Chains A and B, each alone.
Chain A
Amino acid sequence: MIAIVDYGMGNIRSVEKGFLKIGADAQITSDPKTIEGSAGIVLPGVGAFRDCMANLGKLELIDTLIKEIQKGKPFFGICLGLQLLFSESEEFGKCMGMDIFKGKVIRFDFKDSQKLKIPHMGWNTVRFVNRPPIFEGIPDNSYFYFVHSYHVVPEDKSIIAGVTNYGMDFVPMVWKDNVFATQFHPEKSQELGLKILKNFSSFVDKA
């Protein structure tokens, strides 16, 4: 069973519906025991970094998630679920993350002359740098749906799995061993997005 972590942030129903559509066994939960008993974990999330960490903390899920990730359980972070893996975010001052990966989460900072809108909202392409197994069968430079104002800057460049350009190159996905995470929303990216969920589900089955 894949545990979809519910911590009161954002639209987890879409993620659940995505996994149901591809026929995976997925369950929405905020119970640490259920997460421990799962075969794989999905951490979705939209909204503010600080609120997300606070909610995860209130539900006493932070230690559970870190422990399960370190044990090698397949993990998939989506949007804020990617950002929360990092050391700290500059959203509303400074806020500590789960520190699975060293690095920062920073706001897009454009010059006025660039006339670029924030949030970065809509469909943009992802160029693979190091294609993770859950991206098998996904063509390079495919479009995925993004909506975010902050992006991750990993210290360890080896975890960077792809690059997207929005006024500058930024990191839309990371991968290290059992941990996959995307800034874009596979559950909102039509067929190719569902393919990623399907691949993650297969990865969980094989793990």
Chain B
Amino acid sequence: MINITGKRFWFFVISLVFILVSLLSLFTFGLKTGIEFTSGSMLTIDFEQKVEQPQLTAELANLGYTDVIIQRTGAGDYLIRTPELNADKKKALEEGLAAKFGKLTETEFDSVSPMIAGETAQNAVIAVAIASIGILLYLTWAFRRMPHPIRYGTCAVIALVHDAFIALGVFSILGGILNWQVNLMFITGILTIIGYSVNNIVVIFDRIRENLRLGISPDFEVVVNSSLIETLGRSLNTIITTLITVFALMFFVGASIQNFVVVLVVGLIAGTFDSICVAPMLLVTWDKKEWGKFVSWLPFAARAKG
């Protein structure tokens, strides 16, 4: 039998590396928030001629827009984020760009006032809070018959937070490099992913509970390992079919839901890793009370890698 649980410290190291990279990126780049949360206007412009991003940035500055964020979409359009534009300013901006770069088409335009942005940000926070409470209540209920409900619940929550944190980190990097913004669909994606990842963890924990009852081994680590192997087919196949459809969305639709789809891809992969390699491993480590052992093992890991 493959020994998955035996590699748990390595999984923790991988996980720590991801967390460190995410933290580093969040500290250096921060997150770029979309107009839904901070107000402003967003133009999607399709230039007939080829326009390079630095040229566009320069021309926008020339027109008096120094404080813009430009993102290039997969389809080659530009998303230009500006302070809130009224009809006249927008017309002037488009005419200015057309004068420099030739014919252009404005395929999308969104404008959000500070009032709406404030409400959106507030309601998004409320939604995240309610979703977290809902999922915690669900977990408490789902693990009520587990031998140590608090342990199972805590490990699941750590894995979920870890999942969301990695998605945030990836978006912080994408924001820093490609100017991707965190908008309402990003929040939607994170919540969807968390809702989905909970399932995977619950299915695995459920199997651990069943195997404990069957008494397949006195060693908790062995029980967890066989439970993981028994559910591995399901865990992987489920993620594969879901990823197939998400990739289809990413390659064939992209455009305005591009950022959303990328959150789903990142979250699904991270969520699968978390449900197999983090949540159950935390359980084993907790059961064996080997936190200290992990810490003293870390330098060894560093040497082995080096």
B and A form one assembly = no
Q: Which residues of A contact B (CB under 8 A)?
A: none
B-side interface residues toward A, CB under 8 Å? Answer: none
